[in-house]
Amino acid sequence: MPAICIHDLTFAYDTRKALAGVSFDVADGALCGLLGPNGSGKSTLFRIMATLLRPHSGSVRVFDRDVATNPAGVRREIGVVFQSPSLDRRLTVLENLECAGRLYGLSGSESVRRATELLERVQLGDRTRDLVGTLSGGQQRRVEITKGLLHRPRVLLLDEPSTGLDPAARRALRELLSDLRRERSVTILLTTHLLDEADHCDHLVIVDRGRVVVAGAPSELKKKIAGECVVVHGTDPDALAVDIRERLGVTPTRIDGAVRIESPRAHELLASIVEHFRDRIESITLAKPTLEDVFLDHTGHRLEPGDT
């Protein structure tokens, strides 16, 4: 049985459809990434999974508990960490976690025991008595994740978990999530605009205009891109793209001041472009497909930093 099963999900804000028949499963114990541009429906989908919105039709089931008919049962199974801070900066780390534990029906002593254990795991065992407002952004993010794990959920939902983290803190977060999956078989679904973070997922779901446009393992999605990619920077990229198309019979894409071409014969194409357009080229590179290429191929635009 999948940990999360989403079938033909729809939701609309007045006349604007946010979700139009979204369907996908997340396997028990998997790490699933959810990507999409602004307005794609990703945030709405996340809020439905977190039981904050009720779907208009279709279903979301978490370990066979339906978010619409059994939201309380779903909440017992999930831990949710939103992008926006939810900690009280005027309380200590431990006081924040004690308050959260009581909301889940834990006694004060059990909340403290679990919180202390988890804080050691996220390398904050020496900051339990410190005010949250004195912690760095990365440390506060780790406390947020600790709060989401306090009631020992089987599913952890993370909204942009790497927001505000430096590269070292991101690595530490990846290690923590890996440990959770290995030791407790926690299923993790995260939203992200960081493609390197998405590359570490077992399964990736890309949503655009309220629909799933592609899903699968990152490695398999990249394999489906035709060959390699040639990226050319030139003095007049618009004219260069037209001339490359007419001269070489390929279909370039104009992205961020560059000309990009996917081709199964990319090495030959690169040589031909240099031969015919040498004087108009500032730089030219050849690379294997990345998740950015996958995203671009299926949505028609890049995943910008604001697409969260």
State pLDDT tens for residues 238-287.
Answer: 999 999 999 999 989 887 788 988 888 888 999 999 999 999 999 999 88
Please give the pLDDT value at position 243.
95
Q: How many percent of the chain have pLDDT more than 70?
A: 98
The rounded distance, in Å, linking the Cα atoms of 158 and 182 is 18
Please give the pLDDT value at position 304.
64
State pLDDT tens for residues 75-92.
Answer: 999 999 998 889 999 999
Please give the pLDDT value at position 226.
67
The rounded distance, in Å, linking the Cα atoms of 36 and 34 is 7
Nearest of 60, 59, 57 to residue 10 by alpha carbon: 57
Please give the pLDDT value at position 305.
53
**The length of the chain, given as a count of residues:** 308
pLDDT at 111 over 80: yes
Enter the pTM of the model.
Answer: 0.82
Q: Which two tokens stand for residue 252?
A: 């370039």
Contacts of 196 (CB under 8 A, 6+ apart): none
**226-288 in CATH: which number?**
3.30.70.1510
**4-221 in CATH: which number?**
3.40.50.300
Residue 215 and residue 202 in contact, taking contact as beta carbons nearer than 8 Å: no
Nearest of 77, 83, 87, 51 to residue 159 by alpha carbon: 83
Long-range contacts at 276-281 (CB < 8 A, ≥ 24 apart) = 276/247, 276/248, 277/232, 277/234, 277/240, 277/243, 277/244, 280/234, 280/235, 280/236, 280/240, 281/232, 281/233, 281/234
pLDDT at 37 over 90: no
Reported confidence tier of residue 95, pLDDT bands at 50, 70, 90: very high
| CA distances from residue 204 to 167, 251, 295 in whole angstroms, order as listed | 22, 27, 11
Domain limits of the chain? Answer: 4-221, 226-288
Reported confidence tier of residue 124, pLDDT bands at 50, 70, 90: very high
Reported confidence tier of residue 308, pLDDT bands at 50, 70, 90: very low
State pLDDT tens for residues 140-172.
Answer: 988 999 999 999 999 999 998 887 777 887 888
State pLDDT tens for residues 203-245.
Answer: 999 998 999 999 999 999 988 886 788 999 998 999 999 999 9
Q: How many percent of the chain have pLDDT more than 90?
A: 63
Residue 127 and residue 139 in contact, taking contact as beta carbons nearer than 8 Å: yes
The rounded distance, in Å, linking the Cα atoms of 211 and 213 is 6
